[in-house]
């Protein structure tokens, strides 16, 4: 508990730096862009349209059904896409955050976990803007809005913790093994197809349905859809799947990062 208090005190001390780094990333990402932050809304909309045209034809899905609930495929697709994109962007940018801040790390003392945390926070801000795209699609398709939508922040916050833990692991590992940056890109792509973003789990063969619960992203996507689309409280398995994944990732990330951070300066 004492160490946790020190971490919180340390974080509060550098909160302004975190804000400045996030602002810098936003300015750099949309520099010389006429539409600026609007791309955070347009990008998921355009990607959803492309995937909708392709996969609605392949799977012959204009509607998704779950019991008595019928959902437009576009909404189903976009909900999964937003959650997975947050995971993908946050972890991939956090992975190179320590290496990318090498000059700053060598000059002044800054808690090194600030850099992967900032990348995850920046991706979280992007996702919040992308939610506007989801609202637009839900209004356009006349998707019913349930009171449970007010709880949609829960899986997003738990996923933030999960992403931070994975980001700590990746950023520490990449300092010593640069090949991780190339291998992880392949892994993220493979995991996307193992996550029910553009298809329903019911179409999978039995062996695949028995494996998919071991994919943490399956639970995050499912929980978000329960709140936003289906208007129900997620089952106990979803709470366990998301909660345990986040806690384990965070603990492993913090321990690994703390044990290796003193040697970063020798390799960056």
Q: Tell me the domain boundaries of the chain.
A: 39-266
Q: How far is CA 116 from CA 61, 121, 122, 207, in A?
A: 38, 9, 10, 36
> Which stretches in the chain have pLDDT values below 50?
none
Look up the pTM and report it. 0.88
SS3 assignment, position 72: strand
Number of residues that make up the chain:
268
Per-residue model confidence (pLDDT) at position 123:
92
Calpha distance 58→35 (Å, rounded): 33
Per-residue model confidence (pLDDT) at position 265:
82
Per-residue model confidence (pLDDT) at position 120:
95
Per-residue model confidence (pLDDT) at position 191:
93
Helices then strands, each counted (H, E), the chain: 12, 2
Calpha distance 223→256 (Å, rounded): 29
- Cα first-last separation, the chain: 32
Q: Please, how many CA atoms are within 13 Å of residue 248, restricted to the half-sphere of its CB?
A: 7
Per-residue model confidence (pLDDT) at position 203:
80
For the record, the structure tokens of 181 come out as 């940056």
């Amino acid at each position: 508990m004492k160490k946790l208090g020190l971490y919180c005190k340390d974080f509060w001390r550098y909160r302004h730096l975190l804000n400045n780094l996030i602002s810098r990333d936003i300015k750099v990402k949309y520099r010389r862009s006429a539409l600026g932050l609007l791309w955070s809304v347009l990008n998921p909309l355009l990607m959803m349209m492309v995937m909708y045209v392709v996969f609605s034809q392949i799977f012959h899905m204009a509607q998704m059904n779950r019991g008595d609930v019928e959902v437009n495929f576009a909404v189903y697709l976009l909900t999964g896409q937003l959650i997975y994109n947050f995971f993908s962007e946050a972890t991939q940018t956090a992975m190179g955050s320590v290496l990318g801040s090498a000059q700053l790390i060598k000059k002044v003392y800054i808690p090194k976990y600030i850099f992967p945390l900032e990348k995850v926070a920046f991706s979280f801000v992007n996702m919040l803007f992308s939610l506007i795209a989801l609202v637009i699609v839900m209004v356009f398709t006349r998707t019913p809005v349930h009171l449970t939508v007010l709880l949609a922040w829960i899986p997003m916050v738990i996923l933030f913790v999960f992403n931070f833990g994975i980001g700590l692991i990746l950023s520490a590992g990449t300092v010593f093994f640069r090949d991780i940056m190339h291998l992880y890109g392949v892994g993220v792509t493979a995991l996307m197809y193992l996550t029910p973003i553009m298809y329903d789990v019911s179409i999978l063969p039995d062996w695949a349905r028995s494996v998919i619960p071991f994919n943490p992203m399956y639970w995050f996507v499912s929980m978000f859809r329960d709140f936003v689309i289906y208007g129900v409280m997620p089952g106990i398995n979803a709470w366990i799947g998301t909660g345990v994944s986040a806690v384990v990732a965070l603990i492993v990330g913090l321990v690994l990062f703390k044990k290796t951070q003193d040697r970063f300066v020798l390799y960056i």
